[in-house]
Amino acid sequence: MSKRDLKKYVSGLSKEQLQEQIIELYEKFASVKTYYDFAFNPKEDRLLEECKLKISNEYFPIRGKKAKLRRSVAQKYIKHFISLGVDPFIIADIMFYNIEIAQAYASEKVIKQELFYKSMLNSFEQAISYTIQMGILYDFRSRAVAASERAVALHWVNSYEFNAIIERLEY
């Protein structure tokens, strides 16, 4: 069904029928429930705190388990927050937090998987692109520069690529 067909269908429904359908969607689909729960009671601070805890738990597990180093955990939150329409500053904060916590872990442990470094570079590129797209790069510039400098200080195999991204921003 196209958006146009949907509009035509919805315009033909009475107010009561629309209410019934929305309630049915709310009860039937978790994503609709999540959307409405967030729309009417955003609690962005609580979501941000929960998200940061889960990301840090990937690198520094609370229980004595081994660190999993999964970038996908942060990516799922970022995608989810974008779909909910969370404030871009919060999304950008999560993006940079993910890189910063990974660098904190890398400063304590040697990471031999090259995929880890590639993944962090992808996260960095996405964070820079997102902040440019949202017009908030200036607000996150110091964190971006710090992440690049930290990659160099930690002797990451792709640190020159982090540096190149920062240098392109200066021109």
Tens-place pLDDT, residues 8-57: 888 888 989 989 988 898 889 888 887 887 778 777 888 889 999 999 99
The whole-number pLDDT of residue 22 equals: 87
User: Rounded to whole angstroms, what are the CA distances from 22 to 7, 13, 28, 34, 102?
Assistant: 15, 12, 10, 13, 41
The whole-number pLDDT of residue 171 equals: 58
Q: Which residues contact 135 (CB under 8 A, 6 or more apart)?
A: none
In the chain, which stretches have pLDDT less than 70? Answer: 171
Tell me how far apart the terminal alpha carbons of the chain are, to the nearest angstrom: 46
pTM reported for the whole predicted model: 0.81
Angle, alpha carbons 42-44-47 (nearest 5°): 110
Report the C-alpha gap between 8 and 10 in whole angstroms: 6
For the chain, what percentages of helix, strand and coil (3-state, to nearest 5) are there?
80, 0, 20
Nearest alpha-carbon partner for 152 in 113, 117, 116, 112: 117
CA 112: distance to chain centroid? 25
Is residue 103 within 8 A of residue 117, CB to CB? The reply is no
The whole-number pLDDT of residue 25 equals: 87
Is residue 128 within 8 A of residue 86, CB to CB? The reply is no
Report the C-alpha gap between 122 and 97 in whole angstroms: 14
Would you state the structure tokens that stand for residue 105, as one six-digit string? 């872990």
Report the C-alpha gap between 1 and 26 in whole angstroms: 20
Report the C-alpha gap between 1 and 143 in whole angstroms: 44
